[in-house]
Amino acid sequence: MQIFHTVQGLRQPLAQARREGKRIGFVPTMGNLHDAHIELVKRAQQTNDLVVCSIFVNGLQFGLNEDWDKYPRTFEDDCAKLRAVGCDFLFHPDDKEMYPNGLDTQSRVICPTMTDVLCGASRPGHFEGVTTVVTKLFNIVQPDEAIFGAKDFQQLAVIRRMAEDLCVPVEITAAPIHREVDGLAMSSRNGYLSAAERPRANQLNVSLRWIVSQIEQGNRDFPALEAEAKRQIDTAGFKPDYISVCNSKTLELAAQDDKDITVLGAMYTSGARLIDNISLN
């Protein structure tokens, strides 16, 4: 695996790969890689000749009082995992390389829809940081395909809308959520769970699956289902952030006759904020 720390350094071999007619896949990450990230790389390898992974902890998408300083930086371990799976290129820029003029004067990419609800409601400015850095990474790598995990369903929807609006010639692929045996969605933030919390941390997934089962049985009282799921999470000893039954494409609250529905949720543990979702049609 070749490692690059500068934009120009990465662009040179990628330009050569394009001249050779190679198809390029891209997996953007913030590092602290786990099995779910590795599955994204494997998915990219299935449909591309060459795979680029990036590791960059993007300060622009962290708000005040969030965990940018504490976010785990595990570069050597990450490299070992990427080498083991056969990743071709790793792009690992520092803040100066990604934001040479500083964060305060950085041009921003703003998606005006779907960003002030769900996770966006409790993390103001988060998605502006996501769409800005993803646009920059797309411009740097210029991939044919980019693979994102479906766990961050809202992020995926926002990135798809951003790419559509800006005519970005990148195929956006969603990979299924990679889960622990008990249903807990794999996440770097699972490392913040205490030993006492971990056996109960799948409660978010349990409550979302309960809502899905109710909808499949014909229950369309979405507000009541959301309220009961929040009660379940609270009873398990966690603090619900939101539980929402949404239209899968627009992320607006689902209408009674919507057929493509995604149930999304977030909850707080003592040291982490966990998210999950389940789609049905």
* Rounded distance between C-alpha atoms, residue 108 and residue 122, angstroms: 20
* Rounded distance between C-alpha atoms, residue 69 and residue 5, angstroms: 21
Query: Which of the following is catalytic: 34, 37, 92, 178?
Result: 37
Q: Is 178 an active-site residue?
A: no
Cβ-based burial of 217 (10 A; exposed 0-12, middle 13-18, buried ≥19): exposed
Asked whether the beta carbons of 246 and 252 are under 8 A apart, the reply is: yes
Give the N- to C-terminal CA distance of the chain in Å, as an integer: 41
Q: In what order do the strands lie in the sheet with 261-268?
A: 239-247, 261-268, 273-280
Which residues are designated catalytic?
Answer: 37
